[in-house]
Structure 1
Amino acid sequence: MSEGFHVHGAHDHAVEHGAHSGDKLGGQVAIFTAILASVGAIVSYQGGDTQNQAMLFKNEAVLKKTQASDQWSYYQAKSNKGHLMELAADLAPAGKRDYYKAQIEKYENEKKEIKAKAEALEAESEKANEESDHAMHPHHKLAQSMTLIQIAISLASITVLTRKKWLFAVAAISAAGGLAMWGWALSV
């Protein structure tokens, strides 16, 4: 805050002046906008929180997908080694073939474990993606709610400037719509 003076916008000045002058409409608008600003702060916080949760789940999904990809690469490496052992078994003298066949069996068993781990990681990635989508779902409703609340605050401020009471009714309708959207978002 500046030390010597404070700058008000035109609507801020009109609302403040109306609230202190005993003007009933100005006082109602001041209370109305203060309540809506408080509700708007809560809605805005909840909207940001849904985005953060969705982002955390999405990051988890990407991490699990990357880990699954690493496992599939490891699986492929074991397959390549197994194929080389098959080739070696075909080319090796009879006394060495049992060694290569044992190696082939070892790689096949390792591949089964690696495949199971890769598939489990892919399932975890998919689950995290679904959680991200679910966390993001109410965000759109919260954003619409916040927009309607901001419109209501603006219309209420204009009411004090223009002295048009019908505008205050439109502001109340917009606020009611914003509150309804907020309730809807919370129920999702």
Structure 2
Amino acid sequence: MSSGGFHVHGPHDHAIEHATQGGHGHEGDAHHGGDDHGGNGSTTSKIAMATAIIATVGAIFAYMGGATQANAGLYKNNAAIKKTEASNQWNYFQSKSTKQSLAELARDLTPGEPDKAKYQAKIDRYEKEKNEIKTAAEKLEADAKQWDEQSDQQMHQHHRWAQATTVLQVAIALAAIALLTRKKWLEYGMFGVAGIGVAVGALAFLHI
């Protein structure tokens, strides 16, 4: 999921405006059904306040989702770099092995002891260099594996943030419908879905 932001769509804004006008905008109805208008106004205010909070939390979740996705890409790129460096080291190791094999062959075919000693010194040097190169290559491979694991963790966390953001968007849609229809069960549903969204966000925060 990209970090495009968390938007409260038009129907919700229209619903709040409509409900507010219904509760306060008609002076001709001021002397009729005052208690009903007061109740509707209270419900409207409650849902509007809840929606604003949900939208704010959703915006934070959306930002975190974008940040973790960017981190996952960065870590995966670091892993690729380490893998390339490790591959170069192994190629260098192979080159030293080839030189060592040629030196061993030359030592075995050389009749004189002084020349054998000279080739043996090269063989010992190549062996030492090979060990150093091998150690460096293995470290680079371990670093690459660690970067890959961190990338996978960030991607998993990104999916959690995305799930939480989507659930909160559904809660906002329910709030808009609740304002338009005055259905109490939709209002309860909005709070329930919002709670689920926050719970999923908590899982993302805890890296679960």
Instruction: Work out whether the TM-score is over 0.5.
Output: yes
Cα shift at 1:139: 2.5
CA offsets, 1:18-47, max 9 Å, x none?
A: 235434233333222222111100011111
Alignment of 1:62-101 (within 5 A): 62-94=80-112, 95-101=114-120
The unaligned stretches of length 5 or more in structure 1 are: 1-7
Aligned equivalents of 1:11, 1:134: Cα separation in 2: 35
Taking only the aligned residue pairs, the percentage that are identical comes to 49
2:160 maps to a residue whose letter is: K
Question: What do residues 59-97 of structure 1 show as CA deviations (whole Å, max 9, x unaligned)?
Answer: 222211211111010000000111121222233342533
Give the 5 Å matches for 1:52-63: 52-63=70-81
Q: Is the counterpart of residue 48 in structure 1 residue 66 in structure 2?
A: yes
Match of 1:142 in 2: 161
Aligned partner of 1:29 in structure 2 is: 47
Tell me whether 14-23 or 114-123 shows the greater mean CA deviation.
Answer: 14-23
The residue that corresponds to 1:104 in the other structure is 123
Q: Taking structure 1 as reference, are residues 10 and 127 closer, same or farther at Cα in structure 2, changes over 3 Å only? A: closer
Name the CA shift for 1:53/1:153 in 2 (closer, same or farther; >3 Å). Answer: same
> 1:12, CA displacement in angstroms?
2.9
- 1:17 to 2:3 alignment: no
Taking the aligned partners of 1:10 and 1:184, their CA distance within structure 2 comes to 30
Preserved contact between residue 153 and residue 171 of structure 1 (Cα < 8 Å): yes
Contact persistence 1:79–1:107 (CA under 8 A) = yes
What SS does the corresponding residue of 2:115 show, helix, strand or coil?
helix
C-alpha distance in 1 between matches for 2:21 and 2:47: 12
State the distance in 2 between where 1:20 and 1:34 align: 19
Change (3 A) 1:59 1:35: same
Give the aligned length: 181
User: Structure 2: which 5+ runs fail to align?
Assistant: 1-8, 24-39
Q: Which residue of 2 aligns with 1:5?
A: none
The Cα of 1:173 is off from its aligned counterpart by: 0.7
Alignment TM-score, normalising by the size of structure 2: 0.77
Per the alignment, in what secondary structure is the counterpart of residue 148 of structure 2?
Answer: helix
Q: CA RMSD in A?
A: 2.1
